Amino acid sequence: MDLNLALEELQFRDELRDWLRANVPHDWSEWREKPIEESFPYLRAWQRKLHEGRWAAVSWPKEYGGRSATLTQQAIFWEEMARVEAPPMANALGLGLIGPTIIAFGTEEQKKRFIPKILSAEEIWCQGFSEPNAGSDLASLQTEARLDGDHYVVNGQKVWTSYGWVGNWCELVVRTDSNVPKHKGLTVLLIDMRSPGVEVRPLRQMTGESEFNEMFFRDVRVPVENVLGKVNDGWNVAVSTLMHERGAYGARLHPLFKRNINRLIELSRKFQKNGCAAAQDPLTRQKLAQCYAEIEIMRMNQLRAFSRISATGAPGPEGSIQKVFWSELNQRLQQVAQEIFGPYGQLLGGDSHAVDNGIWSYGYLRTRGNTIEAGTSEVQRSIIGHFVLGLPKSY
């Protein structure tokens, strides 16, 4: 056990720091408040710049434009990006989830066709997994693809699609065989979102915004060469994507949580509680300290999980607790913020009395989604119970 950075980790960090010092835009704060539709070209340009420096997908193999970064280097990458308040990248799903899946399962032609444009943000990707009747029980999905000559014909509906409104391409899980057990009849298709019969509608969520979309497919024709992996092996392909979703994501979130708790501590000195500054109120101090500690533990759990993955090649049992841990912690943090702000906490962006222009009232509502998206807390606990502790499957 040695938590000091190794030489190649220090070199990685210093090279990144130098590059960021020269390249990180200084006007992001002016853009971040604007609707995503307006700032999206800005985010595309930023990703293109990162790609030119070979920083867009550090975890990817070198031959595909990455740096073959270790998990620790990936954690360093996100810590440094947060430290300089760098803008996010436009093609988040393409870089984080779908690109790695194409690299793992794609044909040489598919890799050549799709990978460069994922990196350059020329083509934005979205992910068509969940359906109105297939959420936690993803394998029961009903969107069907029927073979017709050298094309599949797709009919069905997807929901909770991030980046659907701007997506050029979609990783879509469909049913290609309904006469076999539900996990065995699925296939992953790469769909051009401009294909006739694709319709995208915004889905308004409880925060009032539309991060997600609904997607409708009516007789959409997809060439057979756009099957990712093998026909009827789509469950394995989809699970691989989900593993990326639940894996190193905690390392990206930790710096953001750290920034939030530091900001909250700062604000607690200005807000009054029980006749003194909230920072001096014994009960508030207890709650802030609890959040601070749990955010530190989130990082330690992550680093331990990384070491396990490096040693064994597979995510260790510690990895499985990360999603439950961060999502529920984030909700507790937002509740503590609300308690500190009192009635000011409810004020929305645009109100002159709102705290930090409403990011905390937004966060309070938005974090309700954390324990639902990317695997509900209930599903995660069942995964821990069955796959980690070896208890009998409960569903």
Partner 1 sequence: MEFGLSESQEFLKDSARKFFAGECPSVEMRRLMETGTSYDVALWSKLTEQGYTGIIFPEEYGGVGLGKVELMLLMEEAGRALLPGPFFSTVVLAGSVLEAVGTVTQKKKYLAPICRGEVRATVALVESTSSWNPRDVQLGATNGKLSGEKLFVTDAAIADFIIVVAHNGVFLVDSKARGLKISPMSGMDLTRKLYAVEFSNTPAEEIGGTKELARALDIATAALAAELVGGMQRTLDLTVEYAKTRKQFGKPIGMFQAVQHQCADMYLETESSRSAVYYAGWALEENSPDAPTAVSIAKMYASDAARTVGNRGIQIHGGMGFTWENDLHLYYRRAKASETAFGDATFHRERIARLVIDEGAVSAKHA
What are the structure tokens assigned to 278, written together? 């909230």
Under 8 Å between Cβ of 205 and 212: yes
Angle at 48 between CA 42 and CA 52, to 5 degrees: 145
∠ CA 339-331-385, nearest 5°, is 145
SS3 238: helix
Nearest to 332 by CA among 286, 299, 279: 286
- In the complex, what is the shortest distance from the CB of residue 67 to partner 1, in angstroms, rounded to a whole number? 17
Q: Exactly one of 80, 131, 171, 245 is catalytic; name it.
A: 245
The closest alpha carbon to 158, from 170, 171, 143, belongs to: 143
User: Smallest distance, Å, CB 24 to partner 1?
Assistant: 19
> Which CB, 204 or 269, lies closer to partner 1?
269
Q: How far is the CB of 243 from partner 1 (least distance, A)?
A: 19
The single-letter DSSP state of residue 345 is G
Query: Which sign does the torsion angle of CA 7, 8, 12, 13 carry?
Result: negative
Would you tell me which residues interact with partner 1 (CB under 8 A)? Answer: 1-6, 9, 72, 76, 79, 255, 258, 262, 265, 268, 279, 282, 285-286, 288-290, 292-294, 296-297, 299-301, 303-304, 306-308, 310-311, 317-318, 321, 324-325, 378, 380-382, 384-386, 388-395
Decide if 328 is catalytic: no
**Residue 114 or 306: which CB sits closer to partner 1?**
306
Instruction: With CA atoms as reference, report the closest residue to 308 among 257, 253, 247.
Output: 247
In degrees, to the nearest 5, what angle opens at C-alpha 342 toward C-alphas 340 and 345? 90
Nearer to partner 1, 224 or 391 (CB): 391
Query: Could you give the 3-state DSSP secondary structure of residue 146?
Result: strand
In this complex, which beta carbon is closest to partner 1, that of residue 255 or of residue 369?
255
Q: Cβ neighbours of residue 232 under 8 Å, at least 6 residues apart?
A: 176, 177, 180, 184, 185, 186, 187
Min separation Cβ 303 and partner 1, Å: 4
Minimum CB separation of residue 326 from partner 1 in Å reads 11
Which helix or strand (DSSP H or E) is residue 372 part of? none
Q: Is the Cα torsion angle 73, 23, 49, 211 positive or negative in sign?
A: positive
- The residue behind tokens 């509502």 is 365
Q: Which is nearer to partner 1, 76 or 126 (CB)?
A: 76
- Cβ 254 to partner 1 shortest distance, Å: 8
Q: For partner 1, which is the closer residue by CB, 289 or 348?
A: 289
Q: Which residues form the catalytic set?
A: 245
